[in-house]
Structure formats: structure tokens, C-alpha cells
């Protein structure tokens, strides 16, 4: 079994009390014992988070065999972005821009992870605020040669999609044979953490894998640690059909 956790950590700042407490984020993640951790809004060298290098701190805290940080938004001399941590080594990894002209910088991390069950392609991303922008970002990623070079592998795309109206699955994902793991939406409301109304944190899958379990954490500390709740997915890789 492979457990993935996706979490917009909001720079370690609580959505309700507005306090910076990275230890709460660590507590939330540790309680779920994930093998692969996909985080969004991870700070590095920014005053609001005490100039911490959160990517390095989290990689060390969870003794990650592999970690990959993508700084997307510049703030002062630092900024924030996406972080992927893995219990297993990466066969290879790429980081691509999903930024459209005039929009806030966005990005995606692509990694082929050598799990104990076999190679798994994982995408960690944080999509834009407008529907048109999000659809372009998904199309751009799925058509990108760096994604397509491992398209024969089982694949999971996971992260904060900002997809309030839930239009991505029946749009660009359906064309490329992906299904949405995070259904029904009523079971996957993750934002805002203290009173979740929107199912913004989503996962999509394709290929030889079986989803054993999927949930949004309802732990009390998770309601205070960030403005999002974490998404947890358990999958099992299966042999290709012959």
C-alpha cells in the first residue's frame, strides 16, 4: 500500500488564529504516516515564517529519502511554493511553470517515484484562481513532453486545484483518461479548514492502480494548523494487463 498526503500548509499559519506554528503542520502530517507528501504554499526565507527554510525543515523532520522544492511566488528575498517529499528515491523529476501572462506564478512538480510496489508518476501542483486559467494549466501539463515521457506509468495528480465548481474532471481530464478520486464532493470538503465548504484539494488517477481509501483529515489540530485540511489517498499498484 502507498499512502499519499496532499496539504496546502498556508506557510504554517493557522487559518483561524493567524499564528505561525509549523509544529502543528508537522503534527498533522505525522499522524497520517504518509509515504509521499505533496505540499503547497511552503515558505522559504520570509519574515512571516521567521525566515525559516520550511522545505529543508520538513525534509529533515520526516527523514525524506528524496525531496524536491519549487519556489513559485517571490516574497521579499524569499518566497513560497510546492514541496514533494518521498520515502523512496526518485527515478527522475521535473519542475514546470504553469504561469499565464498577467497571472500569479504557479507551478507543477513531476516525479517518478521508485516505490516498493513499482514506479509511480506523481504530480504535485497548485492551480490558479480562474476557471479558464485552471483548464489551460491542466491541458498544458497533460500535453507537456516531460509528463508524457512517463505517461505509460500509473499516475496521480494531486494538490490544491481551487476548482470550486468541479469542472476539471469532465473537462481536460476526461479527454486524457483520468478519473477523479475525490468523489463524492461532500466527503472531500477541505476549505476553509475550520468550517469546510469547498472540495478544493483533489486527486486524479490513471493507469494500473487501485484506490483503497481516500479521505480528508478531520483531526482537531488540522482545523487550526492551516486554512486547508489535508487530503490522504491510499493506493495499490497492480500488474499491467496482458
CATH number of 2-237: 3.60.10.10
Distances (CA, A) of 52 to 16, 45, 49, 191, 193: 21, 5, 6, 25, 24
Encode pLDDT of 4-31 as tens digits: 999 999 999 999 999 999 999 999 999 9
Give pLDDT, residue 242.
47
Give pLDDT, residue 166.
96
Give bridge partners of residue 42 from the DSSP assignment.
81
Domain residue limits, the chain: 2-237
pTM for this prediction: 0.97
Encode pLDDT of 41-97 as tens digits: 999 999 999 999 999 999 999 999 999 999 999 998 999 999 999 999 999 999 999
Is a pLDDT exceeding 90 seen at residue 240? no
Please return the burial class of 59, using the count of CB atoms within 10 Å of its CB with bins 0-12, 13-18 and 19+.
Answer: buried
d(CA 154, CA 220): 33
Closest CA to 187 of 213, 223, 220: 213
Give pLDDT, residue 241.
56
Strands 155-160 and 118-126: parallel
* Average confidence (pLDDT) over 153-159: 98
Is a pLDDT exceeding 60 seen at residue 206? yes
d(CA 1, CA 169): 25
Amino acid at each position: 500500500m502507498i499512502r499519499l498526503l496532499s496539504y496546502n500548509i498556508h506557510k504554517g499559519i493557522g487559518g483561524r488564529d493567524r499564528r505561525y506554528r509549523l509544529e502543528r503542520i508537522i503534527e498533522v502530517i505525522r499522524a497520517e504516516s504518509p509515504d509521499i507528501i505533496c505540499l503547497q504554499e511552503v515558505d522559504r526565507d520570509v519574515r512571516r515564517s521567521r525566515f525559516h527554510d520550511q522545505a529543508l525543515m520538513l525534509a529533515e523532520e520526516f527523514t525524506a529519502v528524496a525531496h524536491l522544492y519549487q519556489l513559485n511566488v517571490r516574497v521579499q528575498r524569499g518566497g513560497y511554493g510546492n514541496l514533494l517529499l518521498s520515502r523512496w528515491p526518485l527515478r527522475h523529476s521535473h519542475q514546470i511553470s504553469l504561469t499565464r501572462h498577467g497571472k500569479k506564478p504557479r507551478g507543477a512538480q513531476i516525479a517518478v517515484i521508485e516505490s516498493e510496489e513499482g514506479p509511480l508518476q506523481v504530480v504535485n501542483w497548485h492551480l490558479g484562481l480562474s476557471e479558464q486559467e485552471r483548464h489551460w494549466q491542466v491541458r498544458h501539463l497533460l500535453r507537456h513532453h516531460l509528463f508524457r515521457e512517463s505517461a505509460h506509468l500509473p499516475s496521480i495528480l494531486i494538490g490544491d486545484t481551487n476548482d470550486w465548481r468541479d469542472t476539471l474532471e469532465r473537462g481536460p481530464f476526461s479527454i486524457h483518461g483520468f478519473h477523479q478520486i475525490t468523489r463524492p464532493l461532500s466527503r472531500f470538503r477541505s476549505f476553509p479548514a475550520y468550517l469546510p465548504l469547498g472540495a478544493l484539494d483533489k486527486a486524479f488517477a490513471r493507469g494500473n492502480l487501485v484506490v483503497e481509501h481516500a479521505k480528508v483529515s478531520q483531526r482537531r489540530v488540522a482545523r487550526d494548523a492551516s486554512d486547508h485540511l489535508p487530503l490522504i489517498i491510499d493506493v495499490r499498484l497492480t500488474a499491467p494487463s496482458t
